[in-house]
Chains A and B, each alone.
Chain A
Amino acid sequence: MTVRAEAIAVENLHKRFGPLEVLKGVSLTAHEGDVIAIIGGSGSGKSTFLRCINMLELPSAGTVTIHGETIAMKKDGHGGMMPADRKQVQRIRSRLGMVFQNFNLWQHMTILQNVIEAPVHVLGVPKAEAVERAEALLRRVGLYEKRDAFPAFLSGGQQQRAAIARALAVQPHVMLFDEPTSALDPELVGEVLTVIGDLAKEKRTMILVTHEMKFARNVANHIVFLANGVIEEQGPPEEIFGAPKSERLKKFISSIH
């Protein structure tokens, strides 16, 4: 494998909620073009880990480096940490495309307005250009006809595809998916996974927290199995699913089949 630039490097990440330690020192590096799937049981800390990458959840200790830029942290006075420079975090976030479990589309805006919002009001892209790009993205996720509809009138699958278009609109360095299909009815999961699968084929850098094991196996080039706040096992999908080493992973895989 050739040497590719590091897109995300997380070092020794800890996260405590009061007395509960959810992450106990997790390190992970994603290179350009990596598709990393994070799997694990509920409560394993996988969503928390993803949310620490863009500081939606503030880590208690550890460093996060995105595109070679380490997020500067300082002590918050309560034994935790907070970003030292809010502007830096905002700048870094503006190039991370986050897709949420519950879509979190802005309900008072049409689909098109949702997609152009961040480019226009955060990145300062001229509106005409943003609209043009947004329409191309909506066509791509199959929602061009729905561009003037409000989110509440769309199905869950359509909303999540719109949310993916919104994430793509900021031309993200890295896409972060937080259980993108967990809130969907079973028959709507496929359309969303198809869109994400296409993105993976383009060699976009993505980190994906998911319960869809078959999907993770097909699209990811690296699987991370989190258990009790530590990386229990990681490696290429064939190894993780084909020849799991740890007892926990064996149990986890057999429990979902």
Chain B
Amino acid sequence: MMSDDNTIGAMALTELPDRKGFLKPHRIILMAIAAVLVFCAAWFMRWDWLPEYGWRLAQGVGVTLLMLFSTCILGFLFAVPLGLVQVTGPWPLKMLARGFCTIIRGTPLLLQLWLLYYGLGSLFPQFPAIRQSFLWPYLREAWPYGVAALTMSFAAYEGEVMRGAFAGVPAGELEAGRAYGMSRWTVFRRIWLPRAIHRALPTLNGETVLQLKATPLVATITVIDVYAVVSKIRQMTYLTYEPLLLLALIYLCLTAILVVAFRALENKIPTRGA
């Protein structure tokens, strides 16, 4: 039903060739160059450390993905109300949401992370009530601060995206919902929210990729993600390029998977080309 010429596929990066058009001269040349590069990397560089650190790298990728998905999901759950109140909320909530988005988006993520971890994190132990609470086993770890900072960041950026997406849903479609007797909640749940998310998907795709590449910051507060593992490998093996090249490859693969997954999601509802 949907064909490529009347569907906005996505940007060039996500345009995967079909099987028939795959072997074109320029592709053959590019593949040859890639093969030479891979061969050189394998032949002239040292990779003997890989088996020894393989398991730790896998664990690192796991932590990175966990950080990415937990903060994206949590952050998005906050972003929806943040965007909504900016479009339709009473003015105190609107100002609060706008203030939150401005402050978080206006300061470096690294700064927020350190303020949370070194600031709050060192403040908490001074209160016996907190030390004795059931939360303490978590609060003395590093990862909750990483999750909190990344979640807040994602919520603030996506709050802005959702504000635009909510505002951009044609008023007529919401009016049609009301005209058929829908309650405000039903209009929101059945029309406004799904329509806004669909509009925001291409942007959310890019923002999720950015979020993936923001996760290495948690390595600075002792969370052992894949970046921290690679740093460790560099210290242990005195190698500079090989671990970093591997790290680049890992992030590239993760990004590609994210992009393809989002594209599949976008194409569930085809958009008419403008």
A108 interface residue, CB < 8 Å from B? yes
Shortest B221–chain A CB gap in Å is 40
Residues of B within 8 A of A106 (CB): 173, 176-177, 191, 195
The reply to whether B269 and A108 form a contact with Cβ atoms under 8 Å apart is yes
Given the interface pairs A104-B172, A108-B198, A150-B270, the reply to whether A90 lies near B182 with Cβ below 8 Å is yes
Q: How far is the CA of A68 from the CA of B80 in the complex (A)?
A: 42
The reply to whether A121 and B182 form a contact with Cβ atoms under 8 Å apart is yes
B194 interface residue, CB < 8 Å from A? yes
Residues of B within 8 A of A118 (CB): 180-182
Shortest A121–chain B CB gap in Å is 6
The reply to whether A122 and B182 form a contact with Cβ atoms under 8 Å apart is yes
The reply to whether B180 and A170 form a contact with Cβ atoms under 8 Å apart is yes
Q: 23 A-B pairs, CB-CB below 8 angstroms? A: A56-B179, A86-B183, A92-B181, A93-B178, A100-B172, A100-B176, A104-B176, A106-B176, A106-B177, A106-B191, A107-B173, A108-B191, A108-B269, A117-B180, A118-B181, A122-B180, A122-B181, A122-B182, A152-B270, A152-B271, A153-B270, A153-B272, A166-B180
Residues of B within 8 A of A92 (CB): 181
Shortest B204–chain A CB gap in Å is 15
Option from A86, A93, A148, A152 in Cβ contact (under 8 Å) with B180: A93
Binding site for B on A (CB under 8 A): 54, 56, 86, 90-96, 98, 100, 102, 104-108, 117-118, 121-123, 148-150, 152-153, 166, 170
Residues of A within 8 A of B195 (CB): 106-108
User: Main secondary structure on chain B at its contact with chain A?
Assistant: helix
The reply to whether B6 and A153 form a contact with Cβ atoms under 8 Å apart is yes
Given the interface pairs A102-B172, A108-B198, the reply to whether A148 lies near B1 with Cβ below 8 Å is yes
The reply to whether B190 and A117 form a contact with Cβ atoms under 8 Å apart is yes
B272 nearest in chain A by CB position: A152
Chain B residues 143 to 197 lying within 8 A of chain A, measured CB to CB, are 170, 172-173, 175-183, 186, 190-191, 194-195
A-B contacts besides A95-B181, A98-B179, A107-B173, 15 pairs, CB < 8 Å: A93-B181, A96-B179, A106-B173, A106-B177, A108-B195, A108-B198, A117-B190, A118-B181, A121-B186, A121-B190, A122-B181, A123-B181, A149-B1, A150-B272, A152-B270
Binding site for A on B (CB under 8 A): 1, 6, 170, 172-173, 175-183, 186, 190-191, 194-195, 198, 269-272
Instruction: Name, among A92, A107, A117, A170, the residue most crowded by chain B CB atoms within 10 Å (CB to CB).
Output: A107
The reply to whether B181 and A94 form a contact with Cβ atoms under 8 Å apart is yes
Q: How far is the CA of A152 from the CA of B270 in the complex (A)?
A: 9
Residues of A within 8 A of B1 (CB): 148-149
Given the interface pairs A56-B175, A148-B1, A152-B272, the reply to whether A108 lies near B194 with Cβ below 8 Å is yes
Residues of A within 8 A of B6 (CB): 153
Q: How far is the CA of A117 from the CA of B182 in the complex (A)?
A: 10
Option from B175, B186, B270 in Cβ contact (under 8 Å) with A122: B186
Residues of B within 8 A of A54 (CB): 179
Shortest A118–chain B CB gap in Å is 4
A98 nearest in chain B by CB position: B179
Instruction: Name, among A56, A95, A106, A170, the residue most crowded by chain B CB atoms within 10 Å (CB to CB).
Output: A106
Q: How far is the CA of A117 from the CA of B181 in the complex (A)?
A: 11
Q: How far is the CA of A98 from the CA of B178 in the complex (A)?
A: 10
Option from B173, B183, B270 in Cβ contact (under 8 Å) with A104: B173
The reply to whether B180 and A104 form a contact with Cβ atoms under 8 Å apart is no
Residues of A within 8 A of B194 (CB): 108
A55 nearest in chain B by CB position: B178
Shortest B218–chain A CB gap in Å is 36
Given the interface pairs A106-B195, A148-B1, A153-B6, the reply to whether A98 lies near B269 with Cβ below 8 Å is no
Q: How far is the CA of A98 from the CA of B272 in the complex (A)?
A: 26
Shortest B30–chain A CB gap in Å is 35
Residues of B within 8 A of A152 (CB): 270-272
Instruction: Name, among B6, B181, B269, the residue most crowded by chain A CB atoms within 10 Å (CB to CB).
Output: B181
